[in-house]
Amino acid sequence: MDYEKLLATRTANMKASAIRELLKVAASPGMISLGGGLPSPDSFPLELMHELTERVLRKYGAAAMQYDMTEGFGPLRRALIDYCATKGVDAKLENIYISSGSQGFLDAIGKVLVSPGDIVAVEGPTYLAALQALNAYDARYAMIQTDDEGLIPESLEYVLRTNEVKFVYTIPTFQNPSGKTIGLKRRIAIADIIQRYNVLLIEDDPYSSLRYRGEHLPTIKSMAPEHVIYVSTLSKIFAPGLRIGFCVAPEAIGKWLTIVKQGVDLHSSTYAQALGAEYLLGGFVPPQVEKIIKIYQPKLDAMLLALEQNLPDGYKWSRPEGGMFLWVEGPKGLDMEDVYHIAVKKNVAFVPGKYFFPNPADGIETMRLNFTCVTEEQIHYAIKALAEALQEETLLVNHA
């Protein structure tokens, strides 16, 4: 059978995540990968799982294994009210929805809101899987400019003034891919702009708990609650393999997110949600976050130091106070994909930054580095090798 001729027109717009293809190379034996986005397996609370299982079976019994409401497992939704309050997000039960990872909401929001050709305003660079989710609904993108402090409010305002934007999508804290964080003043300005332009903003916040230094910043949701859907996850504070995301949304949108989710998976795993509920209710988040910070902070510091020691003039990089990524910008004219091919020969992998831009002609000279899944020794070696690869590529370019 010729299966290709059966494909829908939208399918032609899709392609395998470039990161995943690159990561196949990155997964080769002996490779030091700065390319992934995985939490360290050392960070997972494995030792807790028996106790959580015990609690789940005792408290919920068969209900933890049964079909459940599309909106989410009641005890988890209720537990998230308190958790969201720690983020300054004021939520009632009817505002909290569970999905299969926060990715589930990127898909559902696209399905509910995006008609083919609708414009979504995103930071450049932005989260690749958000583009992937929205591409399936034929979204177009308006790119908001960023600098060292992330999204530039004036650029947001310009984009809103010159485009009919369906919604704005941003990761304000320790952004994936850049590691950058939008400062307080800018958050206030953004909250003001979206209210003045009466536009919806999706605040994707998976990383804010992973702050290794500096002060926690208020969410944009807390400043413009009616204009923001707050999306987060238990992936970074518990375990990604449970696939539990959540959002805080106006009920008028949440009801549509629920209807589309019915068609997508009926509901997320009740059992995983029950484990998540007991994890939150048992007070396990604060010690777990403390444990994660102890694991990640030295890795981040090692990478910042290695970049300082090895990268030549003409390079700059983000200096995040948390999260899992940082971002390197080389001189204009450098193609990081070429550097990538040199680096993998030295057994070091990363992700060329252009993949994180809605327009693939942008960000040619950038790269994303992840530091959570490698040791400090590996970081030291890898950044040195990367500096060599950059130098070799620069020589090649200058000769050509």
**Secondary structure (DSSP) of 89-137:** ----GGGEEEESSTHHHHHHHHHHH--TT-EEEEESS--HHHHHHHHTT
According to the binding rule CB under 8 A, does residue 137 interact with a second copy? yes
Of 158 and 197, CB closest to a second copy = 197
Q: How crowded is residue 200: how many other Cβ atoms within 10 Å of its Cβ?
A: 20
Q: Is the peptide bond before 153 cis (omega within 30 degrees of 0)?
A: no
CB of residue 9 to a second copy, shortest distance in Å? 5
Select the residue interacting with a second copy from 18, 136, 223, 305 (CB under 8 A): 136
Interface segment toward a second copy; rule CB under 8 A; list 182-190, 204-212, 249-257, 353-361? 249-257
Spatial distance between the Cα atoms of 30 and 14, rounded to a whole number of angstroms: 31
Contacts to a second copy from residues 166-205, by CB under 8 A: 166-167, 198, 200
According to the binding rule CB under 8 A, does residue 38 interact with a second copy? yes
Select the residue interacting with a second copy from 61, 282, 287, 314 (CB under 8 A): 61
**Secondary structure (DSSP) of 56-79:** HHHHTGGGGGS---TT--HHHHHH
According to the binding rule CB under 8 A, does residue 221 interact with a second copy? no
Q: C-alpha angle with apex 303: 299 to 308, nearest 5 degrees? A: 150
Select the residue interacting with a second copy from 220, 253, 307, 382 (CB under 8 A): 253
Of 149 and 265, CB closest to a second copy = 265
Q: How crowded is residue 47: how many other Cβ atoms within 10 Å of its Cβ?
A: 7
Interface segment toward a second copy; rule CB under 8 A; list 234-242, 302-310, 320-328, 349-357? 234-242
Interface segment toward a second copy; rule CB under 8 A; list 86-94, 134-142, 148-156, 353-361? 134-142
Select the residue interacting with a second copy from 49, 93, 395, 396 (CB under 8 A): 49
Binding to a second copy by CB under 8 A, coded x per residue (else -) over 67-86, reads xx-x----------------
Spatial distance between the Cα atoms of 77 and 55, rounded to a whole number of angstroms: 17
What is the greatest pairwise CA distance in the chain?
Answer: 70
Contacts to a second copy from residues 259-288, by CB under 8 A: 259-260, 262-272, 275
The residue behind tokens 């299969």 is 100
- End-to-end Cα distance, the chain: 48
Interface segment toward a second copy; rule CB under 8 A; list 103-111, 204-212, 321-329, 353-361? 103-111
Spatial distance between the Cα atoms of 203 and 296, rounded to a whole number of angstroms: 24
Select the residue interacting with a second copy from 41, 214, 282, 314 (CB under 8 A): 41
